[in-house]
Each structure stands twice: as C-alpha cells, then as structure tokens.
Chains A and B, each alone.
Chain A
Amino acid sequence: DAGVTQSPTHLIKTRGQHVTLRCSPISGHKSVSWYQQVLGQGPQFIFQYYEKEERGRGNFPDRFSARQFPNYSSELNVNALLLGDSALYLCASSWTGTETEAFFGQGTRLTVV
C-alpha cells in the first residue's frame, strides 16, 4: 500500500511568486495536516483538514491557505513567497484526525531565492 505521497519533492521559487504543494493521503484516511519544518527546528503545524473542512489552523499569515478535495487529497498554497518560507513542508494523514498517530509523507523541500 502506498504511504502519504507529496509532490513535488523539491522546488525552487523566486521571492514574490506563488507555490502549490500537493498531498495524497494513505488510502482510507480522511484527514490531512500540513506542517512547516525550517532547518534546525521541529515541524510547525499549519493546517488540519477533515472531510474537506478546516479543523485547525496554526499561527501562519494569510499568505498560507489550503484545501481538501473530495478524494481527500490536499493542496497547500503560499502566496507572495518570502525567503523565510524556505523549508521542508510535510503532509500527514490519519483516519479522522483524532487518532494518536499521524503518518507523514516525505515532504516537499521548498527553496525561495
């Protein structure tokens, strides 16, 4: 069975551009969460979605947005990219979002130049 898959794996963008990151959860999982991991830090919670509804939002600016589709896949969008947005973006999936374990994808490494 496929685990959580994210695309692309690596991405280079210029300041001010927009980026869309994609995540496909484990089959049967209905909840997706997004995390940002800056080098040398632990992952920071950005969003959680369950059944296409936003269930939680972390302390990130409005430039960050996300959505979940009927097939439970998800997109994370970041507008007006800043150098500080350079990070590993991780997607995690679980059945309902209330379980104790979340399964992470391999992440998308975003570099903003």
Chain B
Amino acid sequence: RKEVEQDPGPFNVPEGATVAFNCTYSNSASQSFFWYRQDCRKEPKLLMSVYSSGNEDGRFTAQLNRASQYISLLIRDSKLSDSATYLCVVNIGTGGGNKLTFGTGTQLKVEL
C-alpha cells in the first residue's frame, strides 16, 4: 500500500465549478500535512498547510481527519489558472528532520 494515496484524475471541470480532491495516508505517526501545487514541468510549490480544525485560504479549503487518516482539498469557483497537479503531502519526520512523502498527484484541468 502506498504511504499517500490520491486519485490521479484528470479532473476536467468547467470554469466556476467546485471541485474536491481526497487523499489518504497510511502512517499514523505523520506529523504535518500539506497540499502542494505543481504546474507542468515546474517545481512543486506549497499551496497550504492542513489542520484538523480545517483551514481556508480564499477559494481553497483544506481539511484533515486524523482518525480516518484522510485529507481533503476543496476549490470553489475554479479558474483557468487553477489547472495544475495537486499533490497531497505528509511529513513523517526522520532523525530530527522532515521527510515529505508525496502522493502521485491529482491533475486538474479547468475549461472554458
């Protein structure tokens, strides 16, 4: 079983739609959680951290359920510029440092 699992998509949605991505992780010792965004042939960039209380940043809402080991990302009012791959990331930690474990990514295509 992969440490972080995501639906690879692609998700093709019209502009203005609401889209939700889900992710599960297997290591219950995971310490922190993130969503990264990666544009085609570019490096990953942090989109937002994810907290159990849920957190929102503009059109983006992230949620963590530690009991179910489940992470979600909701994008409202999708824009063409949201087209990218969204990576679910878990920090397991190793020897006092961070070990970021990435899912395979979910590809989003927002269309006119």
Contact = CB atoms under 8 A, between A and B. Distances in A.
Interface in A24-48: 31, 33, 35, 40-45, 48
Interface stretch (A11-19, A60-68, A69-77, A92-100): A92-100
Contact of A48 (B8, B45, B94): B94
Nearest to A104: B43
A42 B97 contact: no
Interface string B99-112: 11111110000000
B100 A98 contact: no
Contact of B99 (A48, A99, A107): A48
A104 B104 contact: no
Contact of B91 (A40, A42, A100, A105): A100
Interface residues of chain B: helix, strand, loop or mixed (majority): strand
A42 B96 contact: no
Given A100-B32, A100-B34, A106-B43, A42 B98 contact: no
Interface string A76-109: 0000000000000010101001111110111100
Nearest to B44: A104
B58 interface: no
B99 A56 contact: yes
Contacts of A48: 94, 97-99
A92 B43 CA distance: 10
Nearest to A56: B94
B96 A55 contact: yes
14 contacts: A42-B4, A42-B104, A43-B87, A43-B100, A43-B102, A45-B100, A48-B99, A55-B95, A90-B44, A101-B34, A102-B100, A104-B44, A106-B42, A107-B43
Interface of B: 4, 8, 32, 34, 42-46, 49, 87, 89, 91, 94-105
